[in-house]
Chain A
Amino acid sequence: MAVNWAERISAFSRSPSRFLSGTTAEAFLAELLRELRDDRASYSVKVLLLSPLCEHPTVLCPSDSVGEETALELMSVFAQCPPKTVQFCCHLLLALTSVLVCTSCVSSRSRASQDFLDLLLQIAQDTSDLHGDAAHRSLRATACDCLQELEACSPGLLSQRLELLGGLRQRESSRLHQSYAGLQTLVLRNAVYQLTQETGAGPEHLKAILGGNTSVAWEAEQDSGLMNNKDSAILSSVILGPMGTVPTLQTGPDCKELRSVLSSLLEESYLLTPLCQAALLNRLTELVAMVPGVPPAIFRAQLLRLLGTSEVGLLHTTLLMKCAFTDSLFSAEDEAFILKRLVVLSQHPLLSTPEKLFYMDCILHFPENRPIGCSDGDETLPVLLTPQLALALVPTVFNDSATMLARLNLLSLVYLEEGEDGEEGRGLAYLYEHLTSLLHIVENGGSREIVVTFFRAVLLFLSYFCHVERYSNSLTEKLCQLYLHHTYLAPHLINLADQTQDKLTESSWAVGLLKALQGVITEAPLAQLTLQDLSRHLKMLARVAEEGEIPQHTTLSFLSSVITPSSSSLCVSGDWRLGNSLLGVCRRLLVHPSLDSLLIPLADILQHLTCRYGDTDIMDHARLYYSLLTTLSREKLASMLAQDLTEGGRQVKRRTLSSIMAEGEGLTSALTIHQTEKAIFRLMKAQSEPRERTQSDRESDLNQNETENSPGEANVALEAYRTQFHDPRFASEITLNHQLTHVEAVDSRFDQLFSICLHFSLTDDHYDDLSDISVPCLFRDRPCPKVKLTLKPRRPHPTTLHASAIFTTHDGLSWHTVLPDIHIAFQQVFMPPPTPPTWGRGGRLSLFEGLWDEMSSDSREKDLTDCATSLFCCQLKEAALITLVEKHFLPYLVSDLSEDDDEFKVLVFLPPQSHMLLKIRSEEDAVHFNIATDNWQLLPHINSYLLTITSCQDAALGHL
């Protein structure tokens, strides 16, 4: 069993959604709770069982009420825990905290959460473990952790307990004082924050809160409920950038009580672990920032210790302190010292790479005492960071990728400020030299990581120094040479061109690079060209051809020289991929602005491909392009093949039929089926259209007034009726009319849909599988297409169908989408009895009688064991009854409505072989529905159906 649970729990945490597709959250939760209460289960397994509740409480408890119940259950488990199972108890407290916080029971101050709070406070105050019972002490520690989390998630929850918490902390001499200190600090911070939000709050309120004087503090409590719902600002740090405003509490200079609490906390801060110390100092920084009456100098005694620390968290806290207090705590020398310290730490041999990167980030967001202008979170250089100081951080080839890029970025900022000319240009020269060294490494077979890093470095360098032509031109040249020897870099170079074009909109560097690449490709001797190189060249030339400013003659002569037989066997080989790449270039040339001057050579190439290429598909496409080129006007050609710029400037190619195959990477996107995020359309029951009357209906109507050609006797009728069912296909299907409609949300991409293929899947085995249905198109502004669902029941029960669809949008992409489920109600399966077409009402009445006798006879002779009778009664007025019958049973009525018969006979056929017979009659006290069926399993459905329609009728009439 234990193994089983370990596996199940780990399956759940790997993917709760997949796990729950096999069961329900409710069932799984019930299972967990049952096992938790089971005395036979071991506590190590029980600890495991709590993890889903800790990690995914809202998945298991989707509503507050389930959360509340679960919490009560868990608390009763806690109450019964033997004292030795401390680990389990601790985990139980964590699970309770998770459930109560995440289901908002805490913020709504529910019963269970109040009880839990009392329990935690009780554990936290229980110091009976004084004589070294470490196990019990860990329960106390966990209780404190839970209290702290509750306060963090529901600020102000404990603001009335400050005095209690302060006392606990002061009295505690074991390591646990750390937990109390953290708790007290957070509660104090939140309480003060709440006071800052209250108009008129002053020193006496603060004093009252610290002293636990609830009569004054009561107001705060009143508001704290409000605060929870108001906004999340209290959860945010109040230490903002230089331009942020901190909420303040005016107390005047004399707040002895607060000062004494702060001093005591600061004095003991040394005794906390570095992580807790950093958190505590940060909370206190926020607090002092909010109370101008307390001078920041209160921190001074800690500063030297913090500035010299090797702990990243403690130094970080100091920086945040500097951010909050600037020159009221840190002198200009301090500032210079801290900055130098950051530079040292950014390259310290004993620190880890992430730490060093973090310190570099701190340099670029350095909290200066007197910042120049508002930086808005952007990276800026601190004034004190001189080029001399920054020398310690120049990038070198020995750096790892991230460090190298971070250093390159920082030094670029430094040298950008310094300017490029004269003596000072040396820094920039160095950066360029560094880029060249990287390029050499790439050239000499650097790893994939180095290649990627190199291109990132190039983009970074260009984003700062693109305007320095000396370097940007030389870089173009070097990249071309690099490409010529390493054509596998084609995608990297294309990516670089794309990104520089996007990012540096004012620069034409990317076009320059592409043009230069075109140059080296077309001028290189063809003799050494491998097929692999050629395919990469073609990719590159296709990208070059997208630039209207670049003349394309050289590209064309290159194409023509690679396909002419004298120099290459390319055409003979008939490689589809290469042919495709060739066409990719041609296709872009077809829409190039200088097409007029390219017309003849391009036509020659296309014609050559049409006649000589060794692949039929390529030949066909070449022919298509050739005819397009030679027959269409430029405008038409452009609009057919145009690439429209959409979506944030990135080029999204329209996938017209003609481009699908010659589209290179676009091909994948056109051939992939995309998944829609939400439902696009759904199937709705067709509105108010009566059931299509079957042939037999119509014919029997015809026969109505003619001589009936139907059996008079019930048993004969029954016999004749039954004979029809020898053919298993007889009357075995029902047809439901639906409409396909868009759902509300408007996404213009999906306004016009084509070739929709609907696919259905069953959720039970009551029906045969459905075949797919095709709908030619669905337009938002046109009437909805009708869809006929043909169902073949095995058992005529209500059901739900899952539906999905594949369709095409006007841009040529294929999509898969899931439709909302389709619910088939019980009454949708109803059909009039499929009597032979010649029968009239009389025949059906005989059939009714025959069936009724058979079903209600006590002698269960043959195999009539499935038959059953039942009675349903309800209160209905005469008129209401007639309305009901007209509304719901008219197609199935065998007795005449107009006849003055006081009994209605209803015969409903339920494919494939079941019947529901009703005799409806008003008795003195109530309307009786006598029910007979040959399928007793339908009784519950019949019952609930009758209940629904009669209560509806009730309500409707009551309303009248």
Chain B
Amino acid sequence: MSVRALWIISHEKGENVSIRFSRRFSTVEHRAKRLAGSWYVAVPEENTVLQLLLTEMGLSDSNKPYVALRDDCLHCQRSPALELRVDGPAKGVLWPVLAISQGPLILACLPLVDAPAEPRPPLASLLSVSQGLTLLAGLQTFLLGAGGKLDSEGLASRLAMLPAVLLQVCPLGTPLDVPLLGAPATNTVPTPAGSQKQPAWKTGLHRGRAVVNVALAETVRSMQYGNRSRQDLWDVFGTVTCKCEVEGVLPNVTVTLTLPPNGSPLQDILVHPCVTSLDSTILTASSVDNYDGSAFSGPYKFPFSPPLEPFRLCSYTSQVPVPPILGSYQLREEENQLHVSVTLKLHESVKNSFEYCEAHLPFFNRDQMGVVDVKVSFGQLDISKEKNLLVWALGQKFPKSREVTMEGKITFSGPTAGPTDPLCTDLTAYIKLYFKVPDMTLSGCCVDQHSVQVYSSAKPRIVTSRELLSKEYFIWNSTGTAPVSSGLLF
């Protein structure tokens, strides 16, 4: 359940690589040596680790098209654990090296194998692997922030805090917790001595007015082909985020999600570890099962004792009967001209009030756009500065008819070539929709203010909200070949 070493590396697409932080846990290494016996492979020095790791991640020698060590087709990287093949006197394979990479940052660690080294135990039998993954993810969030945006000064100051942070969360190689994201924002006081034990994940106690904030956000993804032989796909997943400012060492709060009558049940529910108990019926519905009409459809009760910081109480997926916006996209190529025809239709069940709604039509593997003779029935059409993208802004509302169209011709006669994409060749093309609808969910799921129960003396203020967001919402050109995106197609 421990890790032998930890590395934090920054790079720019394989260039300017440097180890920004590293830590070896000597006592864990001591155990590793005893456990592995003659199979023991020592952790090499920093530079060697760096080189091996980059090779294994395919980031080394980025200017060379083929490097045998890096590109051998036998090295099939399909597990989260890498093998570092150490050469030289201490020859051997260092395994399992976990590495997560986001933007210019790579975080890696080497979990202890607390099982006989040969034959190599399955990854799934080593608890240190999931512990290592959790630690790395926690450190990544700490370094880059929840949004994953990197600012080099912020990063440097976070890196400088790491020794103190590790003293708390992983002093001797055994991860105890993930770092907190900054100090808790609310008024907190240290715990008084009392009979009630304070949860280890709660750094202090809230003092002041009780406020409970519950935000429900649903995301819809879609692949529409406009093709009879291929079924359109869409799915919805939702998250419930809470911020609870409630007094007490272990206050009880219950949030209840409800569905409208005939709403399809919430599936694949995952809950935060602060949820105290679950009814088994809540967990039964799964997206990989055939839909069973008799399934439990709420209300979904989540009793929990909140931590101080905002947290994701639960997530779910849902199978809604129709996509919010149904589109059709048709391209015809004619004498250096592309005929474009688009229709977008907002489903009647969706609230016609957007925060924003835009359709993007990128064109790859062609020259820049020359003459654009395209009319839209509604909204505004812009051509991107780079002249390879049409942006159709629909604004806050669809027209009364709930249907908008675009029709016209584009020539590609610009002076320079536009961007390339190996996937979108010839008539393989897509429209990508970006929209956000406040105060609605597709599944119909909602948190009623009155259903939030807080068992404390003072009457809390309760704020709830919901919204619908699009992500990976594609409408493919029905006259071209569109790539398969899911096995559920057949």
Contacts and interface: CB of A to CB of B under 8 A. Distances in A.
* A-B interaction: yes
A816 interface: no
Interface string B197-228: 11111110000000000000001010000000
Contacts of A683: none
Interface string B377-409: 000000000000000000000000000000000
A456 interface: yes
Nearest to A499: B74
25 contacts: A14-B47, A55-B25, A97-B27, A145-B174, A149-B173, A153-B27, A175-B198, A175-B199, A177-B200, A236-B114, A241-B125, A304-B283, A308-B283, A310-B270, A315-B130, A316-B130, A393-B487, A394-B487, A396-B487, A397-B423, A409-B78, A455-B73, A459-B74, A499-B73, A675-B88
Contact of A312 (B73, B133, B487, B490): B133
B315 A308 contact: no
B76 A396 contact: no
B268 A145 contact: no
B258 to A, nearest CB: 19
A237 B76 contact: no
Interface in B246-292: 250, 268-273, 275-280, 282-284, 286-289
B116 interface: yes
B273 A503 contact: no
Nearest to A14: B46
B71 A273 contact: no
A93 to B, nearest CB: 9
Size band of the interface chain A makes with B? 35 or more
Interface stretch (B30-38, B320-328, B333-341, B459-467): B30-38
A308 B198 contact: no
B100 interface: yes
Interface in B65-110: 65-66, 68, 70-80, 88-89, 91, 98-100
Contact of B488 (A237, A240, A392): A392
Interface in A768-808: none
B122 interface: yes
Given A308-B269, A312-B130, A272 B200 contact: yes
Interface in B320-369: 365
B275 A305 contact: yes
A55 B483 contact: no
A702 interface: no
Interface string A118-138: 000000000000111010001
A584 interface: no
A57 B237 CA distance: 50
Interface of A: 13-17, 47, 51, 54-58, 87, 90-91, 94, 97-98, 101-102, 130-132, 134, 138, 142, 145-146, 148-149, 152-153, 172-175, 177-178, 182, 232, 235-237, 239-241, 268, 270-279, 282, 304-305, 307-317, 319-320, 323, 337, 340-341, 343-344, 348-350, 352-355, 357-358, 360-362, 364-365, 376-377, 389-394, 396-398, 401-403, 405-406, 408-409, 411, 426, 430, 433-434, 437, 440-450, 452, 455-456, 458-460, 488, 491-492, 495-496, 499, 503, 675, 677-678
B286 A344 contact: yes
Interface in B107-125: 114-116, 119-125
B237 A235 contact: no
Contact of B27 (A102, A270, A341, A442): A102
A145 B169 CA distance: 11
Given A94-B172, A131-B193, A340 B78 contact: no
A87 B164 contact: yes
Nearest to A132: B190
Contacts of B168: 138
Contact of A58 (B26, B73, B177, B283): B26
Contacts, number: 371
B239 interface: yes
B485 interface: yes
B23 interface: yes
B415 interface: no
A314 B273 contact: yes
Contact of B422 (A314, A441, A452): A441
B133 A305 contact: no
Given A444-B425, A458-B73, A313 B125 contact: no
Contact of B72 (A94, A237, A353, A495): A495
A488 B65 contact: yes
B113 to A, nearest CB: 9
A392 B486 CA distance: 7
A439 to B, nearest CB: 11
Given A132-B192, A273-B176, A279 B114 contact: no
Given A237-B125, A304-B280, A430-B484, 19 more contacts: A56-B26, A57-B26, A87-B167, A153-B27, A177-B200, A232-B34, A237-B115, A276-B176, A276-B177, A340-B286, A341-B286, A349-B221, A377-B121, A391-B487, A392-B488, A437-B483, A447-B422, A452-B71, A492-B73
Contact of A405 (B25, B76, B163): B76
Contacts of A279: 1, 127, 131, 174
Nearest to A675: B88
Contacts of A460: 76
A142 B168 CA distance: 8
A391 B488 contact: yes
Contacts of B201: 271-274
A377 B122 contact: yes
B468 to A, nearest CB: 15
A310 B283 CA distance: 12
A595 B185 CA distance: 82
B365 to A, nearest CB: 8
Contacts of B488: 391-392
A861 B281 CA distance: 110
A145 B78 contact: no
Nearest to A491: B66
Contacts of A177: 197, 200
B299 interface: no
A425 to B, nearest CB: 12
Top 7 A-B pairs ranked by shortest CB distance?
Answer: A394-B487, A178-B200, A406-B78, A405-B78, A310-B270, A391-B487, A316-B130
A235 B29 CA distance: 13
B433 interface: no
A236 B201 CA distance: 29
Nearest to B221: A349
B137 A175 contact: no
Given A142-B171, A312-B134, A102 B289 contact: no
B24 interface: yes
A54 B163 CA distance: 12
B45 interface: yes
A403 B135 CA distance: 21
A55 to B, nearest CB: 4
Contacts of A241: 122, 125
Contacts of B203: 175
Nearest to B202: A175
A448 B65 contact: yes
Contacts of B490: 391, 426, 430
A788 B342 CA distance: 91
Contacts of B280: 304
A172 B200 CA distance: 12
Given A148-B174, A273-B176, A430-B490, A130 B193 contact: yes
Nearest to A100: B27
A145 B175 CA distance: 11
A303 to B, nearest CB: 9
A358 B133 contact: yes
B453 interface: no
A55 B126 CA distance: 24
Best-buried of B62, B201, B282 by chain A (most CB within 10 Å) = B201
A175 to B, nearest CB: 5
B420 interface: yes
A173 B133 contact: no
A340 B289 contact: yes
B182 interface: no
